[in-house]
Amino acid sequence: MLSVPCPWCGPRDETEFSYGGQAHVAHPAEPDALSDHEWSDYLFVRDNPRGPFAERWCHSAGCRRWFNAVRDTVTHSFLAVYRIGDPVPEIS
Amino acid sequence: MTAAPDGAPQEHPSWLWRNPDPKPSYDVVIIGAGGHGLATAYYLAAEHGITNVAVVERGWLAGGNMARNTTIIRSNYLWDASAGIYEHSLKLWEGLAEALDYDILFSQRGVLNLAHTLQDVREGIRRVNANRLNGIDAEWLDPQQVADVCPIVDISPDTRYPVLGATYQPRGGIAKHDHVAWAFARAADAMGVDLVQNCEVTGIDVDRGRVAGLRTSRGPITAGKVALCAAGHSSVLAGMAGLRLPIQSHPLQALVSELLEPVHPCVVMSNAVHVYVSQAHKGELVMGAGVDAYISYAQRGSVHTIERQMSAALELFPIFARAHVLRTWAGIVDVSPDASPILGLTPVEHLYINCGWGTGGFKATPGAGSVYAHTIASDAPHPLNAPFSLERFTTGALVDEHGAAAVAH
Amino acid sequence: MTAVSARTGMTLRLEPQPGEVIDRNRPLEFTWNGQRFPAYHGDTIVSALAACGERIFSRSFKYHRPRGLLSASFLDPGCTVQVGDEPNVRGAHRRVEPGMVVSAQNVWPSLRYDVKSVNQVVGRFLTAGFYYKTFIKPQRLWPAYERVLRRFSSGGVVAKDSAHGYYDKRYAHPDVVVAGGGPAGMAAAVAAAEAGAAVLLVEEEYELGGHLRWGDAGQLEALRELRAAVAAAPGVEVMTNSVVNGRYDGNWLGIVQRNLPHVVERLVKARAKTLVVAPGLIERPYVFEGNDLPGVMLSTGVRRLVNLHAVKPGQRAVVLSANPEGDAAIDDLARAGVEVAKVVDGRRGPTIQRATGSRGVQAVECADGTVVDCDLLVTAVGWTAPTALLNMAGDRPVYSERAARFLPSLLPDDVLVAGGIAGDGPLEQLTEHARAVGREAAGRAAETARSLCAGIPQIAERRAGPPDPEPAVALPELPVEDHPALFFSGTRGFVDFSEDVTAKDLIAAAEEGYDSIELVKRYTTVTMGPSQGKLETVNAVAVLAAATGRTIAETGTTVWRPPYAPITLGALAGRIFEPVRHSPMQPWHEAAGATPLVAGAWIRPDSYGDPAGEVRAVRSGVGIIDVTPLGKFDLRGPDVPELLNQLYVNKWSRLDVGSVRYGVMCAEDGVVLDDGVTGRLAEDRYILTATSSGAATVQEWIESWLQTERPDWRIHVTPVTTAYASINVAGPRSRELLGRLVEDVDLANEAFPYMRVRVGRIAGVDGCFMWRIGFTGELSYELHVPASHGLRVWEALLERGADLGVRPFGVEAQRILRLEKGHFIVGQDTDGLTQAYGAGLGWAVKLDKPDFAGRTELVWQSRRDDYFRLVGLQPVDGSVVPPEASQIVLGRGIAGRITSSRMSPTLGRSICLGFVAPSLTGPGTQVTVRLPDGGEVAATVMPQHAHFDPEGTRQRG
């Protein structure tokens, strides 16, 4: 059971959250300009790293806010939590 | 015991496989000595005469998902493409012990997929109808027929998840996962395939768009062809060759109970409530849970996933309330966007990919191995795996098996 | 049934012992294999039987060898029994109760039957390494094996009519959890509590105290003091007969609690700030020929039996002792009147060779060649550190040659160790160390609490965390004492008693190529039995190390997995807390005898007994249906049209106040996600509706867009699904009925035409809104009434419309009505690959919008024509209703399917919607429908989806 550090409510059990997958995958500003491969990448391909991963969470049974987090996919520890729209923090 | 077998079984051989150091060069190197990797090596040697092959494995033989799955075998998938490859696999299962000369405890005890909602019923019937057109033994059972097949399922209508019916595949069943791996390993080794354990791949060399070799913890290996077969670790390996794959790695948990007298005659699965249950020969219940939501390489999941699964399982099987869970564990499954595997060529020449089986790779072990071997040997997909190309995510020809495969095996 | 009387039965019961846990004033009786036995309160099942002279409690899994007491603890592998309908009960742990019905498990052919007879029956299977080892030419023999395997199954019995029992769950948020209530655990708990921490002290046995309980007078005195300190410490909650079963991410602990009255088991889910692991040490069996005979016991087992339960463990004993615990057992035996015939000192070289006997130990052959007649052999050869919780915390314990056991290595900050798992030393030193660990645990917990509060300023101000910790003091180091490395004296002994695996099996496995510990484990099943390696792992590693010429450290161990102790499925399941949702009109539906339909979380009326009649009422007069589950969202703000334009394929910019529009939502891959109508109630207020099953998804989708993609849009979203009760009033006389109840809205067609919304008062209820839409194809009004008044409006409609023949109708009638009208249902008539054009929604897709979710894919689909399409279908024989999900075939291939089908009461014939291949979409095309029974019927593709009133005149009237 992860303890997810909601930036608005504090750490809460994972069961209160829904998972949003990779962060910083914005809907393309000009979808028409994309090639088939670029569009397919946007639609289907996500990073799947072993280690730190910037991902989205929504505190769906709490404040219902989306936020970003960097979590290590091996240790499961949260290395950073930050607002949507902010850049990925440097992880030392 | 009534009928004693005619003649005592032969003693076990003195060794099952060699434990070689890697040679500097191979025609084909398969990365990952799980069930699929070992089966691929076997079929490369047995059907294509390619024996200058190494299977390199980071840990020990079949110690990843092969050691962690719930061993369910069936072929009743919805789409023609899926039915083709899984039924091919099931047919191979039916002759596998004989072909490999090794007992795999394959037990065709039948698989039930329960329906709990009208939507489940429609999807189940659709699948049964499609299966029958594809020559797969599939039946639709009403609740009473479900109880006839599996008397311990609670079919009373006042449960939270009432049983409205089930699809039934009598030829489905279970096998002993470790034995399957060892059977393929032994047979491949006997034909000259090198099974190299404790050999972690640290890099894949690509030269002008073509794979050249590997760097490993046991030294560099040049390879004419490289075949990825690493399930949850596929993204990391593909990344070494500059590829991004449309898969995500998630924990999938399972558990076994303590031993019980035989009480559960078949395999029961229920996608809607994330449960699958069988009873192994020895007497333990083997149960699988749903996939944890987050990406993970940790081989551990969260307990609430198991709690939710048990809650649903006991609604179906109140008889098991007092059984004890002995051990839980997790594997890392590689989930694709359409819940179907990716099996074929890659943009890198002579680099092949087999991944994305999600929760259901075990049942495909011989089938995937045989068509993957064909793909590697002829540098072109077999008709059965052609629909499962990496390209389909660009062309849009998806094979959506969420209904048949999303959770359960 | 024979009875053994309490007075004469307990022939091996000793005089009262200073530390005994039995209450001699409370005798009781229970049955064992159908025979009545006496016992005292406080006895375990097996101590009571042992007091009466019983020595065999089970038959082993594979070879059906008789098994007796070994450790006299929860882990005792030979003492698993059936209690009533409860399987696999640990008989050396479970306390006996009056009238308890206990029987042996795995006793085919019987508990007392001689093993040689069994061997005659199945001997050939046993010798070759039965079951897990493998055979050549298997297919021919497999059926025979499978039959034998069934006979050999050795588990407990579960019965279908078993009482379910009550299982419970609890959440806890302690500062410090101490796993293990021995002296170190108690000392750590007290120290942590005195430092201000809220402490949960968890002990597997029925009382605190660990090994002090079977100690000498001095240790019993120390036990009294520690128990008093625990009782006096502020904020220590003690859970006995409970086990910390697993340690997960973020120090989330699963604890199984068994000491509650009327609760079979409770799963306590504790998020601990610090975990102190103090489980003590587990005594390790010795591997030698005959080491599984009843009468071979561990020194701790003997000491428990004598001191806790006052049972004489035998008459004449040989003791192999390599440590002080073994030496103490010698004293206990002497005091219990057992003749100690020989003591073999394991610290001084060779030990014992074998034990012999048929149904129990009769003689022991020592390494020096002497043979001693005896009925008891006690071994004290060393310890296993139960590092399972440390493993789960990421630790990889290292083997200490000196201590001959594994020791912790690298622990995360929130996990500490105390007691024997951490090191050695006299009691005072161990408790002093444990106190320091307890204080440190409290300090780290306080630190964690402060950092948690610091992240949320508004909380930090209000609530102080735990008090400041003492200034940091380095934890004292515990010494590690020398212990001889004694694991096995030969290859014929059992390494795993539960799984019947001998040292020889392990050596053979290594020779065959299974030379890693994980492969050996899987091949031989060593350590995979009920105690999950707590007794067996180190011996298995030692045997394998010797067989492969490696050290124990090089060989390593297997990974311990949760749970630490078995937990019932019932405790994991708990009670079902999955809620169901009802509309405010549910009491009325139930009173009316409606057939319930489970639709996701909602329970709603499927019908009121006569769906066809309900359909006719709607077509000819007026009907009402409860559509409360419809997802409803209140959207406010100037940028709502931007959002709608982004989420729906349709255009929304010119939706006037007072109008509603039907919209289709697609995911980015162009697949139909949801549909529904959205109305504009005021300049900046909209109500968006979603399908009942899709409401949660749509809400997340909207919020995701607003929060992550377009935070600049000024929009507030409020889910109001349950704030309004929703009623659809449908039928040619719906306007007439509504006119009797609506006070301030002009219902005339010109004033309130089709696809418009009005706000007003209905049946005296203010704040209602109603829109004129037509899922059924009839003139109809969908009323949305503040939920608390839903039932009142519902009843008013029925009462005031009685003379119009108003009838309630259920979901089944609605399905028929909408199918007659050709309206599709997302998820039923579409699937996970259905893009908008395939569903026949091309008219709604506005590709000239610069962007919307799914547009790219839909542009692509719009240029093709190779996709299956949803069409109206009518079987040529109108009396046949092809079941939904019947396949449409073309030659030998699948060319579509029926997605919806019903007999139409209105048309008197069967009607369908279905998907067909591109070549079959032309109106008038005849297709072949394969029925589930294998038969085939012909059906005709219709020019449009609607089978009834395709022009839509009725709904506009």
What's the domain count of chain B? 2
Size of interface B-C (CB pairs under 8 A): 266
B304 touches chain A (CB under 8 A): yes
- In angstroms, the separation between the Cα of residue C561 and the nearest Cα of chain A is 16
Identify the chains in contact with A, defined as 3+ C-beta pairs within 8 A: B, C
Higher pLDDT, A32 or C464: A32
Task: Pick C452's closest partner by Cβ from A2, A10, A18.
Answer: A10
Residue B7 confidence (pLDDT): 35
Q: Which residues of A touch C857 (CB under 8 A)?
A: 43
Query: Which domains does chain A carry?
Result: 1-25+49-87 (3.30.2270.10)
- In angstroms, the separation between the Cα of residue B131 and the nearest Cα of chain A is 28
pLDDT at C130 over 90: no
The predicted model gives C722-736 an average pLDDT of 97
pLDDT band at C121 (very low <50, low <70, confident <90, very high): very low
Q: Could you tell me the residue range of the domain that residue B236 belongs to?
A: 14-69+177-246+337-395
C669 touches chain A (CB under 8 A): yes
Classify residue B234: in a domain, yes or no: yes
- As a three-state string, the secondary structure of C701-765 is HHHHHHHHHCCCCCCEEEECCCCEEEEEEECCCHHHHHHCCECCCCCCCCCCCCCEEEEEEECCE
Q: Using one digit for the tens of pLDDT, what is the confidence trace for B228-284?
A: 999 999 999 999 999 999 999 999 999 999 989 889 999 999 877 778 999 988 889
Q: In chain A, what is the straight-line distance between the N-terminal and C-terminal CA atoms, in Å?
A: 25
Q: Residue C25 is inside which H or E element, if any?
A: strand C23-32
B256 with B319, same domain? yes
B39 with B140, same domain? no
pLDDT at C299 over 50: yes
Residue C917 confidence (pLDDT): 96
* Structure token digits, residue A55: 């991902």
CB-side exposure of C922: number of CA atoms within 13 Å?
4
Mutate to test the interface with C, among A6, A30, A64, A77 (most CBs of C within 10 A): A64
B329 touches chain A (CB under 8 A): no
Classify residue B288: in a domain, yes or no: yes
B259 with B384, same domain? no
Task: Pick C709's closest partner by Cβ from A26, A32, A77.
Answer: A26
C-beta atoms of B259 and C576 within 8 A: no
B130 with B45, same domain? no
What chain B residue is nearest to A15 in terms of C-alpha separation?
A: B304
Classify residue B81: in a domain, yes or no: no
Classify residue B101: in a domain, yes or no: no
What chain A residue is nearest to C394 in terms of C-alpha separation?
A: A75
B327 with B273, same domain? yes
**Inter-residue contact B146 to B166 (CB < 8 Å):** yes
What's this model's pTM, rounded to 2 decimal places? 0.91
Residue C143 confidence (pLDDT): 55
* Nearest in space to C797 (alpha carbons), one of C727, C724, C881, C888: C727
The predicted model gives C741-760 an average pLDDT of 95
Phi, psi of B185 (to 5 degrees): -60, -45
Provide the ipTM.
Answer: 0.94
A12 touches chain C (CB under 8 A): no
Mutate to test the interface with B, among A4, A22, A44, A72 (most CBs of B within 10 A): A44
C-beta atoms of A66 and C249 within 8 A: no
Q: Which residues of B touch C523 (CB under 8 A)?
A: 178, 182
State the Cα–Cα distance between residues C927 and C869, nearest whole angstrom.
Answer: 14
pLDDT at C646 over 50: yes
State the Cα–Cα distance between residues C788 and C790, nearest whole angstrom.
Answer: 6
C-beta atoms of A73 and B302 within 8 A: no
A69 touches chain B (CB under 8 A): no
- In angstroms, the separation between the Cα of residue C158 and the nearest Cα of chain B is 6
- In angstroms, the separation between the Cα of residue A2 and the nearest Cα of chain B is 7
Task: Pick A1's closest partner by Cβ from B245, B295, B304.
Answer: B304
Higher pLDDT, B93 or C5: B93
pLDDT at C471 over 90: no
Identify the chains in contact with C, defined as 3+ C-beta pairs within 8 A: A, B
C-beta atoms of A71 and B245 within 8 A: no
Could you read off the pLDDT tens digit of each residue along chain A, which spans 92 residues? 999 999 889 899 999 999 999 999 988 988 888 998 999 999 999 999 999 999 999 999 999 999 999 999 999 999 999 999 899 998 76
C668 touches chain A (CB under 8 A): yes
Interface of C with A in 242-261 (CB under 8 A): 248-250, 252
- In angstroms, the separation between the Cα of residue B59 and the nearest Cα of chain C is 10
pLDDT band at C108 (very low <50, low <70, confident <90, very high): low
**Inter-residue contact C326 to C320 (CB < 8 Å):** yes
Which residues of chain B fall below pLDDT 50? 1-12, 405-409
A51 touches chain C (CB under 8 A): no
Interface of C with A in 451-470 (CB under 8 A): 452, 455-456, 459
C-beta atoms of B322 and C87 within 8 A: yes
Q: Which residues of B touch A47 (CB under 8 A)?
A: 235, 244
Interface of B with A in 93-152 (CB under 8 A): none
pLDDT at C432 over 90: yes
B329 with B272, same domain? yes
pLDDT band at C147 (very low <50, low <70, confident <90, very high): low
Q: What is the CATH number of the domain that holds B305?
A: 3.30.9.10
* Structure token digits, residue C407: 């020791």
Classify residue B6: in a domain, yes or no: no
The predicted model gives C67-94 an average pLDDT of 95
Q: Of B288, B310, B335, which residue is a domain's last?
A: B335
B246 touches chain A (CB under 8 A): yes
Q: Which residues of C touch B19 (CB under 8 A)?
A: 513, 515
What chain B residue is nearest to C570 in terms of C-alpha separation?
A: B321
C-beta atoms of A1 and C459 within 8 A: no
Classify residue B127: in a domain, yes or no: yes
C-beta atoms of A10 and C459 within 8 A: yes
Q: Tell me which DSSP letter residue B388 carries.
A: G
Residue C69 confidence (pLDDT): 97
- In angstroms, the separation between the Cα of residue A32 and the nearest Cα of chain C is 7
Cis peptide before B341 (omega within 30 of 0): no
What chain B residue is nearest to C85 in terms of C-alpha separation?
A: B322
Q: Of B335, B361, B380, which residue is a domain's last?
A: B335
Task: Pick B393's closest partner by Cβ from A44, A48, A71.
Answer: A44
Q: Which residues of C touch B18 (CB under 8 A)?
A: 513
B162 with B192, same domain? no
- As a three-state string, the secondary structure of C302-343 is HHHHHHHHCECCCCEEEEEECCHHHHHHHHHHHHCCCEEEEE
State the Cα–Cα distance between residues C602 and C277, nearest whole angstrom.
Answer: 45
Cis peptide before A5 (omega within 30 of 0): no
Q: Which residues pair with C496 in a beta bridge?
A: C501
B252 with B242, same domain? no
Identify the chains in contact with B, defined as 3+ C-beta pairs within 8 A: A, C
Residue C434 confidence (pLDDT): 98
C-beta atoms of B281 and C146 within 8 A: yes
Q: Of B309, B335, B361, which residue is a domain's last?
A: B335
What chain A residue is nearest to C848 in terms of C-alpha separation?
A: A32
Task: Pick C704's closest partner by Cβ from A1, A66, A75.
Answer: A66
B160 with B258, same domain? yes
**Inter-residue contact C727 to C783 (CB < 8 Å):** yes
C339-345, strands of its sheet edge to edge: C296-298, C376-380, C316-321, C339-345
- In angstroms, the separation between the Cα of residue C815 and the nearest Cα of chain A is 32
State the Cα–Cα distance between residues C649 and C848, nearest whole angstrom.
Answer: 10
- In angstroms, the separation between the Cα of residue C86 and the nearest Cα of chain B is 6
Q: What is the amino acid identity at position C55? A: R
Mutate to test the interface with A, among B200, B245, B296, B346 (most CBs of A within 10 A): B296
State the Cα–Cα distance between residues B97 and C900, nearest whole angstrom.
Answer: 45
Q: Using one digit for the tens of pLDDT, what is the confidence trace for C689-719?
A: 999 989 999 999 999 999 999 999 999 999 9
* Nearest in space to C624 (alpha carbons), one of C772, C809, C796: C809
Phi, psi of C323 (to 5 degrees): -160, 170
Q: Residue B361 is inside which H or E element, if any?
A: none
Q: Which of B151-155, C393-397, C461-465 has the lowest mean pLDDT?
A: C461-465
B211 with B299, same domain? no
Phi, psi of C842 (to 5 degrees): -55, -35
Mutate to test the interface with B, among C75, C79, C134, C837 (most CBs of B within 10 A): C134
Q: What is the amino acid identity at position B148? A: D
Cα distances (Å, whole numbers) of residue B154 to B146, B408, C138, C580: 10, 20, 36, 20
B343 with B290, same domain? no
Give Cα B115 to chain centroid, integer Å: 23
A73 touches chain C (CB under 8 A): no
C-beta atoms of A18 and C704 within 8 A: no
State the Cα–Cα distance between residues A91 and A76, nearest whole angstrom.
Answer: 15
* Nearest in space to C80 (alpha carbons), one of C51, C52, C56: C56
Classify residue B94: in a domain, yes or no: no
The DSSP annotation for C804-842 comes to: GT-EE--HHHHHHHHHHHT---TTTT--TT-BTTTTT-T
A46 touches chain B (CB under 8 A): yes
State the Cα–Cα distance between residues C880 and C874, nearest whole angstrom.
Answer: 10
Q: What is the CATH number of the domain that holds B195?
A: 3.50.50.60
* Nearest in space to C857 (alpha carbons), one of B392, A26, A43: A43
B162 with B255, same domain? yes
Classify residue B92: in a domain, yes or no: no
Residue C710 confidence (pLDDT): 93
